[in-house]
Amino acid sequence: MAVKPVVVTIEEHYADADVFGTWRGYDAAKTPDTQRKLIDLGDERIAEMDAAGIDVQVISHGAPAVQKLDPETAVRMARTANDRLAEAVRAHPARFAAFAILPTPDPAAAAAELERAVTQLGFVGAMVHGLTDGRFIDDKRFWPIFERAAALDVPIYVHPAVPHQAVIDAYFADYVGEWPMLIRAAWGYGMETATAGIRIVLSGVLDAYPGTKIILGHMGEGLPFYLWRINQALARNKFVARSFREYFTEHFWITTSGFFSNPALQCALTEMGIDRILYSVDYPFVDNALGAAWLEGLPLCAEDRVKFLGGNARKLLRLP
């Protein structure tokens, strides 16, 4: 009799009540139902996991977490929020794991908080959201975060937030009033985060800290589809000793958060291989049931299915 694979989803969001109160306009796109689910770290969340066959959620704070706050406030709120999330994980240790909030406005403090979260709270990595002070995460001021993550052997999940206001004004102003999701999940999120992924490769941080592990959600923010063209075009510059493809397939993992498409999965499998792809839902912004329905017709053999559903995540994050 076949053993049921352990199902792990690793881009599943929550909102700390105190941090949530600082977001101001950022919660405009979240319905009351979504907001309620973001706050819950107990019975409702677990019931929805059970209904969708999910054994473990790796929980992370929704964007922009504390990254838009002043440094002192960000450090204080990240610490207390991580403490509260650790309590929720301890209450349900077989069902939850966690990525830390990082106070990126103070990069040294962010690195220290990452170490505390991993070594003292038992977190399995961290998630960062979009820009901090208008700067991408590859900026050298943020390299202490990568240095600490590599030393701890934990991944950094690079997650979207809304693009820079100048980008919104230049690219989306004519449409965003009628189509607010255009700057979010429909296009802006992926555009910004794919750019962040490319910049991480170009920055040299992966040479400086070769143990760095990066996770991108939403089927790699489109980068697997563009991988051949990016690799070929950048090779004309001879910008590094190794190709973009080599860096990307060595240092990056991708998840299926909010992206349940067999053709897209097949592309990612062809470009990256099954060991680099992890199942995720993007709860509660995407319903667990949508992911569960997709899994029924998943075009994977039994061995690859085990890896995809949870084996790869358990190996990367050293989960039981």
Catalytic residue numbers, as ranges:
282
Compute the distance between CA of residue 243 and CA of residue 234 in angstroms, rounded to an integer: 8
Question: Sign of torsion, CA 259 264 266 271?
Answer: negative
E strand or H helix that includes residue 189: helix 188-203
Q: What is the CA radius of gyration of the chain?
A: 18
E strand or H helix that includes residue 253: strand 252-255
Sequence-ordered list of residues with C-beta below 8 angstroms from that of 241, at least 6 positions apart, any chain: none
126-129: strand order across its sheet:
100-101, 126-129, 156-159, 214-216, 252-255, 277-278
